[in-house]
Amino acid sequence: MTELIEQKASLHFEPYLYFFLNQTHRKEEIQIFFKGRQSVKHLIESLGVPHTEVGRILINSLPAQLSDITRDGDDIDVHAPQPVLQHDTSELNPTFVIDNHLGKLAHYLRLLGFDCYYDSTLDDENLAKITVEEERILLTRDRHLLMRKAINTGYCVRSLQPDLQVIEVIERFALSRQIRPFCRCLNCNHLLHGVEKPTVIDHLLPLTIKYFDEFYQCTHCKQIYWRGSHYDKMSRFIEKIMAQLNHA
């Protein structure tokens, strides 16, 4: 067996991607040594940056692909994805699948009207399967999950705070004009529709019957919604999010 020759490449990451690099790599140029046939994707991910977080790549100043094989002496520029533009219709109404440690984010995004597949019992295998089969965007904090080859659409949520995570996702996918609060079931993700009071009255408590006349019901799980104290609390949350988005 012949020993493989050591090769060297230089990588330059846009500072926005420093989040994924360890402290010693957060600099203008990273020298990396490798042996054998290594794709650009492999070298980038070996430093901790999932391919879903990578936009334009240049090798020796020429446009390149993640699947390109790195050659000795290559100089690789790695950029973050371009911000999504409002008029880019391909990104309109994106649908998400949300990793099981981000339950609050799923709840908040549904509250704002976004289609979020969330099931706290899903393992990585099934999260990846749903992402690919249903062409959803995977939201996770697990960068290793995003490194799976099959996953092309994902986003690594940076913040640990659910309300800031919501802002991140809205900004990353330019969703601020697509917010439609209170149109989706918080339990099961299906859409709500207005219902006449008599059709649901048997399921309501006496005080609810007394004080409320407008009701909505989930088309799937039949959960009933009305503008009670939870509604006020959620409205304040939405106002807070909108104010933060307007200041961003």
The DSSP symbol for 174 reads T
- Residue 190 DSSP one-character state: P
| 185 interacts with Zn ion by CB under 5 A | yes
Token pair recorded at residue 241: 């999010």
Binding window for Zn ion (CB under 5 A); candidates: 91-99, 121-129, 155-163, 220-228: 220-228
Q: Shortest gap between Cβ of 119 and Zn ion (angstroms)?
A: 13
Q: Is the CB of residue 223 less than 8 Å from the CB of residue 200?
A: no
Residue 113 contacts by C-beta under 8 Å, 6 or more apart in sequence?
Answer: 178, 179, 180, 181, 182, 183, 184
Q: Minimum CB separation from Zn ion for residue 184, in Å?
A: 8
Contacting range for Zn ion; rule: CB under 5 A; set: 112-120, 122-130, 166-174, 180-188: 180-188
Tell me which of 49, 146, 218, 234 binds Zn ion, using CB under 5 A: 218
Nearest C-alpha neighbor of 64 from the set 5, 7, 135, 11: 11
**In the set 46, 60, 93, 187, which binds Zn ion (CB under 5 A)?**
187
- Looking at beta carbons only, is 220 or 240 nearer to Zn ion? 220
* C-alpha closest to that of 99 among 150, 52, 167, 157: 157
Applying CB under 5 A, the span of 19-27, 57-65, 73-81, 190-198 interacting with Zn ion comes to 190-198
Q: Minimum CB separation from Zn ion for residue 192, in Å?
A: 8
Measured CA to CA in angstroms, residue 180 lies from 111, 116, 211, 246 at distances of: 8, 14, 25, 16
Q: Is 204 in the site for Zn ion (CB under 5 A)?
A: no
CB under 5 A: which stretch of 21-29, 112-120, 139-147, 189-197 binds Zn ion?
A: 189-197
- 221 in contact with Zn ion (CB under 5 A): yes
User: Do 166 and 234 meet the contact criterion of CB atoms below 8 Å apart?
Assistant: no
Q: Residue 206: how many CB atoms within 10 A of its CB? A: 7
Q: In the structure encoding, which two tokens stand for residue 232, read together?
A: 């006020």
Region near Zn ion per CB under 5 A, out of 91-99, 120-128, 142-150, 188-196: 188-196
DSSP category for residue 78 = E
DSSP H or E stretch at residue 6: strand 6-13
Q: Is there binding between residue 188 and Zn ion (CB under 5 A)?
A: yes
Tokens of 195: 């219902």
| CB nearer to Zn ion: pick between 4 and 221 | 221
One symbol per residue from 115 to 154: x for binding Zn ion (CB under 5 A), - otherwise; what is it?
A: ----------------------------------------
143 vs 190, which CB is nearer to Zn ion? 190
Sites of contact with Zn ion (CB under 5 A): 185, 187-188, 190, 218, 220-221, 223
